[in-house]
Amino acid sequence: MSDFNPILSGGVLREGINPFLRAGDHDLERLSLDVLKLPAKAELPGRTERSEALAVILSGVLTASAGKAGRVSTRKKSPTTDGHFVWDSIGRRLSPAEGAAYSFYLPPGSCFTMWGEREATVALISARASEGPEIQLITPEKAEPPPRERWRLILGSAFAAESLVVAERAIPEGGSLSFRGAGNVCEAILYLRLFSTVPGAPAAADAAAQATAQAPASAPSPVPPPPLPAKLFGGGPLRGACGIPLPDGAAVGLARGSARGGFTVELEKGVSGYVLLALASGDRSACAGALAEG
């Protein structure tokens, strides 16, 4: 029996907080993933409780405020002497595959508020922790630039988080990416976005609904949806194994046993993609090192 047993979640985003994966569910011990859909002119508060967190702006523009106590407002000036920060108009991507992300780090016990200047999508990755460094904005210039066709480290070994490592990577049309794993020391969450490269083609998430809607009324059963354009394989580089089909917006949790040998994501022709990958471990240097090696 295979040790590769991914936990599948994700799907179509609704306005507000979409809780996709939670530490304590299934075999995940540390990591959680929420994806936030923030309409223009809307405000969304939150707190980190007993976790450190990284908020990664996948697309859109927002103003964010963060502090250590109480509900914080995006109306205060930044920074103040009480450790309250406000970052105006952060985020510049129309889609997550367009350049490097803006993000901000939150230690345990932080409060935050986000206000959408334009509609924005944010991945909030949390890892259980007892402490962490100070609240900090991570601009695209601060992220560790990747060598050709490798991961861009947003939260790498140079950052003194307690257990969290976060990286992102675009996948070219019809291409693939791999993470070789870091032994039995870390667990992982990956969040996948897919984009059609065929002009005028429907989005991957809309294709099945469109096919069903166009089925004749007398048809005995709905028209089968088209094949999903991405597959997940365990064990790093492909070796002819059967992959697990993934839709746009898939969130995948890998407990330590499943993350041990790494994984590969492979796309069909006509589709490009983006993967946000979070790792959590007591040995952050091993996880960051595995990402740096591709």
Model confidence pLDDT, tens digit, residues 7-54: 999 989 999 999 999 999 888 999 999 999 999 999 999 999 899 999
* Phi and psi angles of residue 197, each rounded to the nearest 5 degrees, phi first: -100, 5
In this predicted structure, the answer to whether residue 265 has a pLDDT above a threshold of 60 is: yes
In this predicted structure, the answer to whether residue 175 has a pLDDT above a threshold of 60 is: yes
Torsion angle defined by CA atoms of residues 141, 259, 172 and 204, in that order, rounded to the nearest 10 degrees = -110
Chain centroid to CA 107? 18
103-138: per-residue pLDDT in tens? 999 999 999 999 999 999 999 999 999 998 999 999
Count CB atoms within 10 A of the CB of residue 137. Answer: 15
Which pLDDT value is given to residue 127? 95
Chain centroid to CA 50? 20
In this predicted structure, the answer to whether residue 181 has a pLDDT above a threshold of 90 is: no
pTM, rounded to two decimals: 0.85
Q: Domains in the chain, ordered, with CATH?
A: 7-292 (2.60.120.10)
Alpha carbon separation from 87 to 67, 73, 78, 129 (Å, rounded): 12, 11, 7, 25
Q: Which two tokens stand for residue 1?
A: 């029996």
248-257: per-residue pLDDT in tens? 999 999 998 8
CB-side exposure of 218: number of CA atoms within 13 Å? Answer: 0
